[in-house]
Amino acid sequence: MNTYKYRARGLDSGKSVSGVIQAYSEYEAVAQIKAQDMVVEKITLMTEKQGVHVDLNEPLWVSDKVLSLTASQFAIMLRAGLPMGKVVQLIADQTSDKLMKKILTACAADVSAGYSLAQSLEKNGKKIPAAFIETVRAGEESGALEVCFARLKDYYDKAHKIKRKVKSALTYPVILIILAVVVVGIVMVALVPGMLDMFSNAGEALPLPTRILMVVSDFFVAWWPVLLGALAAIAIGVKVYGKTPNGALNMAKMKLKVPVIKNISVMNAASQFANTLCVLLTAGLPITRVVSITSRVMDNVAVGKTLDQAVTQLEEGRRLASAMRGNPYLPPMLLEMVAVGEETGALEATMATIGAYYDDEAAAASEKALGMLEPMITIFLGVFIGFIVLAIYMPMFSMETMIG
């Protein structure tokens, strides 16, 4: 049983009320509050921070690959007619992922004690996405849990393949950037100073490129520890800032505005929105819950916040297309397709189609950005090396001319 802190407003009195309530899930907590003729304005899970052991090596989230494999195992075993408690324990024993094994082992005990799978996942699976848990809940309520697991398997398998493709495409440019930084550092700190000292001792006036190279080299030699420290401090500062609510929101907005990165972020957000909407609608969840869950699982916090704002309008009776109209972050075509899906009564199928389209668009946007990045790095290295060669060759040429 979880404890939730909430703020609500009475329908009749209009007064704001705050309190705590116990429930197995946020959904059940909201339902209990609504049963008291109140509208929930804010609800948060209260957690005990004392005495909690934190494993720094434990991942922040269960990976998409593990979720896909686990969903596949559930679908197969449930079709075989095995009881739920036995299924959870078998999968816990078979999985090689330590985090999922830990979660499912705890769930197996709870399910055997009478909890539903969704309740036990919500209690023990804080690192499992809300979309996964809510789809399981919908499957239990509708009696089609194995079908929901099959859908989850396809959804997370698709998400894993897309992320793997983007990660693979990013590997070469990242390695190239690291090599470029290492080459620049070695050349400026170890190689150039010795060669330039030789020219300085010659007593001749040095060309401008050589003098510039000497100044830059002296700076790197004197300040390289400070530069490394500054870079490390900036990287840590950005990471810490990104974990704060305001920092996460501001960085998410930045990703949606910076040229090149903007297109990738928008396409990824559209893909995730459409695919998540599709799998949750397939599970039979009402549209308000679907959008509420989707807003919480979006990778981009800014996009998720705009979807959360749309939930309020859906609760007032507006349609999804109307509630999302004017969304500043999602593509206009996606919003139009939402309207088409609602008009035709085929929102689930429409989202499946448009989700596949934006999957391809996200991959194409990533490849295009990387295609622009690689030649830029190559040109930078070429110019840098060319300048060094010129700065070293010019005084050598002058010395040979004087000797001749």
Which region among 132-136, 163-167, 320-324, 377-381 has the lowest average model confidence (pLDDT)? 163-167
Do 2-46 and 155-404 share a fold? Answer: no
Mean pLDDT confidence for 300-322: 89
Q: Looking at residue 44, what DSSP letter applies?
A: E
Q: Structural domain boundaries of the chain? A: 2-46, 64-154, 155-404
The pLDDT of residue 234: 92
Task: Give, for 25, the enclosing helix (H) or strand (E).
Answer: none
User: By C-alpha distance, which of 108, 115, 104 is closest to 66?
Assistant: 104
CA distances 226 to 232, 233, 359, Å, are 10, 10, 43
Amino acid 399: pLDDT? 61
Look at 9-23, 108-122, 250-264 and tell me which has the smallest mean pLDDT: 9-23
Half-sphere exposure of 146 (CA within 13 A, CB side): 12
CA atoms of 134 and 15, how far apart (whole Å): 31
Return d(Cα 59, Cα 70) in angstroms, integer.
17
2-46: CATH architecture: Roll (3.10)
CATH class of 64-154: mainly alpha
279-290 pLDDT tens trace: 888 888 889 988
**pLDDT value of residue 104:** 92
Neighbouring CB atoms inside 10 A of 273's CB total 30
Cβ pair 314, 381 in contact under 8 A: no
Round to whole Å and give the CA distance between 222 and 220: 6
Residues 166-200 pLDDT 10s? 677 667 777 777 877 777 777 777 777 776 676 66
Q: How distant, in Å, are the alpha carbons of 287, 314, 338 from that of 318? A: 11, 5, 13
Task: Supply the pLDDT for residue 360.
Answer: 86
Q: Tell whether the model's pLDDT for residue 156 goes beyond 80.
A: yes
- Look at domain 155-404 and name its CATH class: mainly alpha
Is the pLDDT score of 217 beyond 50?
Answer: yes
Confidence of residue 49 (pLDDT cuts 50, 70, 90): very low
Lowest mean pLDDT among 52-56, 80-84, 186-190, 279-283: 52-56
Question: 128 in helix, strand or coil?
Answer: coil
Q: What is the mean pLDDT of residues 150-172?
A: 80
pLDDT > 90: what percent of the chain?
18
Question: Mean pLDDT across the chain, nearest whole number?
Answer: 82
- What is the mean pLDDT of the segment spanning 223-238? 88
Q: Which of 84-93, 271-280, 363-372, 395-404 has the lowest mean pLDDT?
A: 395-404
**51: pLDDT confidence band, cut at 50, 70 and 90?**
very low
The predicted pLDDT at position 54 comes to: 42
What does the pLDDT read at residue 187? Answer: 72
The whole-angstrom separation of Cα 399 and Cα 404 is 9
Phi, psi of 134 (to 5 degrees): -70, -35
Grouping H, G, I as helix, E, B as strand and the rest as coil, residue 175 is helix
Q: Has residue 113 got a pLDDT over 70?
A: yes
pLDDT above 70 as % of the chain: 89
Whole-angstrom Cα distance, residue 187 to residue 384?
10
Residue 401 CA to residue 404 CA, distance in Å, equals 5
User: Mean pLDDT throughout 333-358?
Assistant: 92
Residue 49 neighbours by CB distance under 10 Å: 6
Mean pLDDT along residues 206-224: 81
